[in-house]
Amino acid sequence: MPSASCDTLLGDIEDIVSHEDSKPQDRHFVRKDVVPKVRRRNTQKYLQEEENSPPSDSTIPGIQKIWIRTWGCSHNNSDGEYMAGQLAAYGYKITENASDADLWLLNSCTVKNPAEDHFRNSIKKAQEENKKIVLAGCVPQAQPRQDYLKGLSIIGVQQIDRVVEVVEETIKGHSVRLLGQKKDNGRRLGGARLDLPKIRKNPLIEIISINTGCLNACTYCKTKHARGNLASYPIDELVDRAKQSFQEGVCEIWLTSEDTGAYGRDIGTNLPTLLWKLVEVIPEGAMLRLGMTNPPYILEHLEEMAKILNHPRVYAFLHIPVQSASDSVLMEMKREYCVADFKRVVDFLKEKKQRTKDLSRVFHSYSPYNHKIGERQQVLVTEESFDSKFYVAHNRFYEQVLVPKNPAFMGKMVEVDICESGKHFMKGQPVSDAKVYTPSISKPLAKGEVSGLTKDFRNGLGSSGSHTSAASQCDSASSRMVLPMPRLYQDCALRMSVGLALLALLFAFFVKVYN
């Protein structure tokens, strides 16, 4: 094996480097603009993959599927629509398949025992299927300490604008309870803001709660414990909500509360004043329906109410509960009216509306609409019948009229000839040469589409301490917003930031070793 030879013997390896050669640290400082090269990837594709197939054990809020079940009155249904809208706007998927959902949001009613029984059974079923659970509505608000509610998250009836927070924490495995009242300078408010996003169960019908709570203290009523004393929304906020609804394709407004007749008594106004303001903004062919009112408060406004119920854009329909035909029973119930008061309201309103229906014949004949066969009526078509064979419309008196399933009729005011009647409905044949009114200002939202994604709400998502901002896309033609999943963007940015930091540390380590 040949041997290596050197002309000069080196005493130290440092003898190889002359004093004229640059030192390692000099070479390092000369390269001031060196930046670690990061491998790029298709961020959009990555986000799409994350959105379509999140990890099965993921606890990142904003990507889960939520099933919402609501029982009870139209007020409760409106609350459910608002909660669905906020959750969908934040990125959660609202599903109609309960078994497919990660979390069940159960919105309860306490008026009748069967509804409360269904609520309790649904909680048990959710627990058996290992679902996350959030409870809402009047049952947990009125009785949050019941044994079967222990350990479960609850959102109060006046806190529905914070449903995203409660769902977030529940997804993470925490139990949260928000049951407080909303107040402004000590005055109790009607509840959450009316301009929050919502998903209408029927895109053609907007349910607006004009006030919450009531002025009574009925001995049998648990709703009072849940909804509390009367608190009304200002007229301008209610009118603005109605305008927004018509701009989103709604053709029928329902006004609801625990007692619509008591509206405004806490803020220095009254129900007729509100109704006259609302009819000013109802487009031609659209209709307004008034919810339940107790006799004591409507007595003060009988003449004005009769005029309003005769307005062509208001259903001549009023829900007045009688409860009992015994004055002594009414007194024990603390209903604050007597039988004579109820009769006075009914008789007065019937004479203004010129209705000749014989009540005894209605209740005993089971054919209350036979005398209307052959009449020509204008009806507003808003939904599909339960058997899916007809469209459901309502006439001037909010009586149900079934019409043929012609897609061109949905959301329209149609003229029909009554050709058949049943116990609870009439059937109408559209008049061939009649004009079909389109009451909506714009095309109705698609079923499941979120309404009311205002700029303020989107800014709120961005500035909230517990939420991240969500990027938004705006369709310039309809100005309807779609919010993608904000948590995914945050997660992606976080991972990229961590990766860059690790690369920087690695680079610094090699430089130090090299030196």
Q: Do 230 and 163 reside in the same domain of the chain?
A: no
Q: What pLDDT does 496 receive?
A: 58
pLDDT above 90 covers a percentage of the chain that reads: 40
Q: Residue 91 sits in a domain of what CATH number? A: 3.40.50.12160
Q: Do 267 and 306 reside in the same domain of the chain?
A: yes
The pLDDT of residue 485 is above 80: no
Domains held by the chain: number:
3
Q: What pLDDT does 457 receive?
A: 63
Q: Final residue of a domain: which of 405, 430, 455?
A: 430
The pLDDT of residue 313 is above 60: yes
Please give the residue that has the higher pLDDT: either 61 or 274: 274
Q: Are 384 and 402 in contact (CB under 8 A)?
A: no
Q: What pLDDT does 357 receive?
A: 53
Q: What pLDDT does 362 receive?
A: 54
Q: Do 253 and 290 reside in the same domain of the chain?
A: yes
Please give the residue that has the higher pLDDT: either 448 or 282: 282
The pLDDT of residue 466 is above 50: no
Q: Do 105 and 253 reside in the same domain of the chain?
A: no
Q: What pLDDT does 78 receive?
A: 93
Average pLDDT over residues 460-464: 54
381 lies in some domain: yes
pTM for the structure as a whole = 0.70
- Residue carrying structure tokens 């979120």: 450
- What does the block give as tokens for 358? 């014989």
Please give the residue that has the higher pLDDT: either 394 or 342: 394
Q: Do 239 and 294 reside in the same domain of the chain?
A: yes
Q: What pLDDT does 2 receive?
A: 47
pLDDT in tens, 318-344: 887 777 777 787 777 777 777 787 777
Q: Residue 377 sits in a domain of what CATH number? A: 2.40.50.140
Average pLDDT over residues 222-232: 80
Q: Do 255 and 317 reside in the same domain of the chain?
A: yes
Q: Do 171 and 238 reside in the same domain of the chain?
A: no
Residue 103 amino acid letter: L
Q: Do 212 and 303 reside in the same domain of the chain?
A: yes
456 lies in some domain: no
Q: How confident is the model at residue 28 (pLDDT cuts 50, 70, 90)?
A: very low
Please give the residue that has the higher pLDDT: either 215 or 464: 215
Q: Do 208 and 317 reside in the same domain of the chain?
A: yes
What is the maximal distance between C-alpha atoms in the chain?
130
Q: What pLDDT does 467 receive?
A: 42
Q: Do 235 and 287 reside in the same domain of the chain?
A: yes
- Residue carrying structure tokens 């517990």: 466
Average pLDDT over residues 262-285: 94
Average pLDDT over residues 465-480: 36
Q: Do 271 and 351 reside in the same domain of the chain?
A: yes
SS3 assignment, position 94: strand
410 lies in some domain: yes
Q: Comparing C-alpha atoms, which of 152, 145, 146, 55 is closest to residue 103?
A: 152
196 lies in some domain: no
In terms of residue numbers, what domain contains 423? 370-430
Q: Final residue of a domain: which of 184, 219, 243?
A: 184
126 lies in some domain: yes
Q: How confident is the model at residue 254 (pLDDT cuts 50, 70, 90)?
A: very high
Q: Final residue of a domain: which of 363, 381, 402?
A: 363
Q: What pLDDT does 53 receive?
A: 52
Q: How confident is the model at residue 464 (pLDDT cuts 50, 70, 90)?
A: very low
With residue 419 as reference, give the H or E element that holds it.
strand 413-421
Q: Comparing C-alpha atoms, which of 174, 7, 193 is closest to residue 86?
A: 193
492 lies in some domain: no
- What does the block give as tokens for 157? 């009836």
Phi first, then psi: give them for residue 215, nearest 5 degrees: -105, 0
**From CA 212, how far away is CA 215, in angstroms rounded?**
10
79 lies in some domain: yes
Q: Residue 300 sits in a domain of what CATH number? A: 3.80.30.20
Q: How confident is the model at residue 268 (pLDDT cuts 50, 70, 90)?
A: very high
Please give the residue that has the higher pLDDT: either 411 or 11: 411
The pLDDT of residue 114 is above 70: yes
Rg (alpha carbons) of the chain, rounded to whole number? 32
SS3 assignment, position 189: coil
The pLDDT of residue 276 is above 50: yes
**From CA 414, how far away is CA 391, in angstroms rounded?**
12
Q: Comparing C-alpha atoms, which of 407, 400, 408 is closest to residue 427?
A: 400
177-178 sheet: strands from edge to edge:
93-95, 65-70, 103-108, 132-137, 153-155, 177-178
439 lies in some domain: no
Q: Are 195 and 452 in contact (CB under 8 A)?
A: yes
The pLDDT of residue 132 is above 50: yes
Q: How confident is the model at residue 229 (pLDDT cuts 50, 70, 90)?
A: confident
With residue 203 as reference, give the H or E element that holds it.
none
How many C-alpha atoms does 141 have within 13 Å on its Cβ side? 27
Q: How confident is the model at residue 297 (pLDDT cuts 50, 70, 90)?
A: confident
Q: What pLDDT does 218 receive?
A: 74
Q: Do 426 and 341 reside in the same domain of the chain?
A: no
Q: What pLDDT does 511 receive?
A: 54
CA dihedral sign, ordered 355, 358, 360, 361: negative
- What is the Cα 455 distance to its own chain's centre? 17
